[in-house]
A and B are shown apart, each in its own frame.
Chain A
Amino acid sequence: MNMGRRVYTEFPAYIRMPLYGFVGIALLLLMLPLAVALPISLNADPWFTYPFRALSLRWFAELFSSPLWTGAMVNSLVIAISTTVVATTLGTLAAIGLVNPRFPFRTAVMALAISPMIVPVVVLGLGLFIFFSPLGLNYSYAGVVIAHTILASPFVVITVTATLTRFDFNLMRAAAGLGAGRLTAFRTVMLPIIAPGVAAGAVFAFASSFDEVVMVLFIAGPEQRTLPKQMFTGLREQLDPTILAAATVMIVLTSCLMAIAYNVNKNR
């Protein structure tokens, strides 16, 4: 990593400047839509136009007082937290199994485990909808959590696998030799050491569930209306800047979690 950076700064300016420019444009393209849209949540008028006549927090007040929006926020949190717990557990266990070179059909199973990241969500959503109906899981919290777990687990598998490749499995042997059963050894030795990877995976799992809308459109009923779904319906039914207030809250929340996960990983 360091090597690469040092070599990079040694490039002559006529190569470096265009590269800097290219990176700058790419970042700009990513940020610009947000920079244009998010401030509208502070517009005192219910319009999506610049310039504003006055600034106000009324859309945030609306967001936190309207039962429609607060209900959606509670649903989103409940579903995202449940998904995080289930996906982190399953993803961590899968990663531990999959780093073992003796795991049968390891590459194939690994590919399968992360395939939800590649398969279009619409296809997964439709498939799950058909699969869930005889099981009665459509229009239920459990159904949504299962659907989100499928999407979120690959993030955990990837981050935990990355951490485990640096893990010295001799430590588990050392623990066993000292009298620790498998569970004790996992809890007292492996888990504390891979915790940063698990935490990073959990944050990604939370974020992927928290802003997910396609699965929710297929699986969730009115009871399970989440924040993204409320925004989605809001776009068609009563378009007002509350949607952007909600977006701002979501972005701030996930950014905070990402920052925490990043720092946990950096300080280890």
Chain B
Amino acid sequence: MVHHPMHVGMTGISKTYDGHSFVVRDLNLEITKGEFLTLLGPSGSGKTTTLMMLAGFEYPSGGEITLDGRPIQDKPPEKRNIGMVFQNYALFPHMTVAENVGYSLRVRGSSRQQIATRVGDALAIVQLSDLAQRKPTALSGGQQQRVALARALVFEPSLVLMDEPLGALDKKLREDLQLEIRRIADRLDLTVVYVTHDQHEALTMSDRIAIFNDGRIQQIGSAQDIYGHPASRFVAEFVGDNNCLDAKVVSIEGDLARARLAGGQEIWARSSVHTKVDQQATIAIRPESVRITGQDRAATLSGQVSDIIYCGDQFRIHVELPGGERLIAKSSSSLGLQMEMGSPVLLDWEPRDAWALDGR
């Protein structure tokens, strides 16, 4: 068997609806077979448009889309063999669950018996075998989404697209279904492009995450890459919590940069290719990487406690720095209980946990 490392390819894709403003710009994306790729970004960043171009409901204004090496942008959606799950489910209200799931097989002219078997299998996978004869309106939101999933899988599509499929569900159900979708994708070795604006969902489910902003991919990589090595201030702020401090680079030593904050204190952070001495940079540091220390060791920063927020399993301590910036640190309950508003604290972190990013 020939192995195609690249299953889906988008090369130089752009899209404009009105002829002058681009909602997707010069998008390059390679998806390997069996991969679970998530497009994560704020609302309006072009995620749905990208998915619609893959599905064939929108035509790219420029660039090329390939599936297994063949260009597909001139193929109508019904010829692409791509499964799609919509946010509002888009189940056919006049058909039963079984008829919904079997629709793709029926229009392909499969035999009755074949349809029954495969619909049965698909419903078993999403654990809905009991409800096969119900109408979609008689189902809960979570059940409807399972039907939509079964319907998108039953014809063994070469690619499955999901556009915020869990957006309308409550938190608990969403978390259950996230794991279930991922489990099904692994079991059936599906290639999935999943759209969400929920970073936790993206971090939980994905092999790779593409961060969208303003029609461009800002960064693409594994959850660990994106979370641990944000490439830009946008990514640092969008994925997880990050403290972003404006600073001026004073010196670079190896892969570490020393930068001065507005208040005059100097801090260490990992430097990147963009880091240049005497230029502005954004220093990003995750709250959980900030340590609150009692005594002045090699402490990097001093500040004043300005807020103590109880979050159940931990406290979030807001610290105001002399330059007026605010920094958030997470701390255990016991330490948090000892904190007092307005009291001075010392903060430090492993220099390699902080990142010097493009200044803006």
Contact = CB atoms under 8 A, between A and B. Distances in A.
B82 A177 contact: yes
B94 interface: yes
Contact of B84 (A168, A173, A193): A173
A170 interface: yes
Interface residues of A, number: 17
7 contacts: A174-B84, A174-B86, A174-B91, A176-B77, A178-B103, A178-B151, A184-B107
B234 interface: no
- Interface SS of chain B: helix, strand, loop or mixed? loop
Interface centre among A168, A178, A193 (most CB of B within 10 A): A178
Interface in A179-223: 179-181, 184, 188-189, 192-193
Interface string A30-48: 0000000000000000000
Contacts of B83: 177-178
Given A184-B107, A193-B93, A170 B88 contact: yes
B115 interface: no
B263 to A, nearest CB: 53
A167 to B, nearest CB: 10
Contacts of A126: none
**Most B CB within 10 A of own CB, among A170, A171, A179, A184:** A179
Contacts of B91: 174
A170 B152 CA distance: 14
A175 interface: yes
Contacts of A168: 88, 90
B78 interface: yes
Given A168-B88, A170-B90, A175 B103 contact: yes
Contact of A179 (B88, B93, B94, B104): B104
Contact of A173 (B90, B94, B151, B152): B90
Given A168-B88, A174-B92, 7 more contacts: A170-B90, A175-B103, A176-B76, A177-B78, A177-B84, A177-B152, A188-B103
B112 to A, nearest CB: 16
Interface string A149-179: 0000000000000000000101101111111
Contact of B92 (A179, A181, A184, A189): A189
B78 A170 contact: no
Contacts of A184: 107
B141 to A, nearest CB: 16
B81 A174 contact: no
Interface in B177-235: none
A45 B190 CA distance: 83
A178 B95 CA distance: 15
A179 B81 CA distance: 7
Name the residue among B76, B84, B107 with the largest chain A CB count within 10 angstroms.
Answer: B107
B36 interface: no
A176 B78 contact: yes
Contacts of B78: 176-181
A171 B84 contact: no
B108 interface: yes
Contact of B103 (A170, A180, A193): A180
B90 A174 contact: yes
Interface in A106-147: none
Q: Which 8 residue pairs are nearest across A and B when measured between Cβ atoms?
A: A178-B104, A174-B90, A177-B84, A176-B77, A170-B90, A180-B107, A176-B78, A192-B94
A176 B58 CA distance: 13
B23 to A, nearest CB: 17
B97 interface: no
Given A178-B151, A181-B78, A193 B90 contact: no
A177 B92 contact: no
Contacts of A173: 55, 57, 77, 84, 86, 90
B155 interface: yes
Nearest to A177: B84
Given A173-B57, A173-B84, A178 B155 contact: yes
Interface in B261-293: none
A6 to B, nearest CB: 26
A193 B92 CA distance: 9
Contacts of A181: 76, 78, 107
A175 B83 CA distance: 10
Contacts of A192: 94
B336 to A, nearest CB: 47
A171 B56 CA distance: 15
B52 to A, nearest CB: 9
A7 to B, nearest CB: 30
Nearest to B108: A179
Interface in B54-93: 55-57, 76-78, 80-84, 86, 88, 90-93
A188 B95 CA distance: 10
Contacts of A177: 55, 77-78, 80, 82-84, 152
Looking at B57, B76, B103, the one whose CB has the most chain A CB atoms below 10 A away is B103
Contacts of B84: 173-174, 177
A188 B108 CA distance: 13
Contacts of B151: 174, 178
A124 B61 CA distance: 47
Interface in A235-263: none
B157 to A, nearest CB: 9
Contacts of B86: 170, 173-174
